Structure 1
């Protein structure tokens, strides 16, 4: 099974990308590697002859993460990939990630596949794949299965799909249609993909052993730096699906007095 590993990258995550490249080189055998760069200008250099690099500059409202993944997927399929593995730039692949996704895709080729994610602490800076199994601590918000097992998601669990680590065959990717191009900047494009899959009858399946490790970087909760993106992308999602995503963050912003409900939408207070 020819496997592609797809990453959307930017200069702000250079250290994370370099660590991902090193770990991926340890755990991957023969893969198609595609990096979609989202900065205004393309990268200064291509890391190696085997890596395909494409450039997707920002739109008027920010980075086009979904469109970057769409174009990278197209490049991977053109290169002959039978399986697309999407891994965010700040995530490291555990030693079992590729084998688990490959086995799950072979058994369930018509499904959207998602593995568990461990969020590393600030002091955890693994440099080798062999270090990662000792750090497994899957996020409690999502199912975490034993290696070698899979489970179909319930309809409500589609809200738990995160695009930082997932896999899909090209045929199923075409059936879903990829990420909707109406999202720029931060938030909602992954929930939209999951809802699109559900609406089209595509099963979401949790994959045990496909562990990814999210590298630490500073964050705020709620993510104040992304407030305008969340309002704009949330409104796009609402127009498409009739409900607002990211409800916990919206409630937190509202509790802080930053936003208010207006009709069936949200807006900055006083705007």
Structure 2
């Protein structure tokens, strides 16, 4: 298991609790922390937890994922964002599916949780309340229902999203991990997916488990990452010949912040502090 952390101790606590509630424990949890001090971990962990510090004021997401993968000792790399609670069969399914298809990359179903100040733990057991979690979660309307599905091929590699994905360490190594030239928010996962496609690695939906995304307020569009998105979109365009993150770029253009054509992305102006503040969504918004 690999995860990245900057802040979000409560989310991390829930992720840890989810791993402690697995029907089969992971061999280890690798935590790449993008903050000075590592996150707090319970002392009585039933599996190894190892930390690696990845400094950088701007989010070094690609570098952090590479550092976590390099430190991992197992053959299965299951990457899960810190704001996720793995369902109790996540580790078991990750091990099973990688053993069956080593050159595959697998995306579990994600259930999005509403805001809940008291969290998702069962106070009596100290474990996640999976009954409440399952009843409260909602699948993204653009994603398929994987009930009754074991494994299903995905036609487009752009479905890959860093929130949760699973692959064999040799598959990761075959493309050299993530491109660390992508710094800050956006682009590194789509670039990684393109290189996986070139290497002949298939992309699959994985049934039999759900990862539950813990709520946090989101910006729509993510104006707080404006400059990083522009830089990374341009980097992707130079490398692959088309644009990624077009859903955000289109919204930036509608706001008069950028202009874009097939070859150039031009910054017209930066978003104002008021525009950034207004883009922050309320507790009722689960999806960005």
| TM norm. shorter chain > 0.5 | yes
- 1:43 has 2:42 as partner: no
Q: 2 CA distance for matches of 1:193 and 1:148?
A: 26
1:232 matched to which residue of 2? 231
Q: Is the 8 A contact 1:36 1:54 kept in 2?
A: yes
2:164 matched to which residue of 1? 165
1:65 matched to which residue of 2? 61
1:119 matched to which residue of 2? 112
User: Normalization by structure 2: what TM-score?
Assistant: 0.83
Tell me the matched-pair count. Answer: 258
2:276 matched to which residue of 1? none
Q: Is the 8 A contact 2:114 2:137 kept in 1?
A: no
Structure 1 gaps of 5+ residues are: none
1:101 matched to which residue of 2? 94
Q: Is the 8 A contact 1:116 1:210 kept in 2?
A: yes
1:18 matched to which residue of 2? 13
Cα pair distance change 1:270/1:185, threshold 3 Å:
closer
What is the CA distance between 1:31 and its match in structure 2? 2.1
Richer in helix (by share):
1
What is the CA distance between 1:147 and its match in structure 2? 4.7
2:275 matched to which residue of 1? none
1:9 matched to which residue of 2? 5
What is the CA distance between 1:148 and its match in structure 2? 5.4
- 1:130 has 2:130 as partner: yes
Cα pair distance change 1:58/1:47, threshold 3 Å:
farther
Q: Is the 8 A contact 1:111 1:205 kept in 2?
A: yes
Q: Is the 8 A contact 1:6 1:35 kept in 2?
A: yes
Where 1:249 maps in the other structure, the secondary structure is: helix
Q: Is the 8 A contact 1:100 1:148 kept in 2?
A: no
Q: 1 CA distance for matches of 2:244 and 2:49?
A: 35
What is the CA distance between 1:42 and its match in structure 2? 3.5
Structure 2 gaps of 5+ residues are: 122-127, 271-288
Q: 1 CA distance for matches of 2:108 and 2:259?
A: 36
Q: 1 CA distance for matches of 2:113 and 2:134?
A: 12
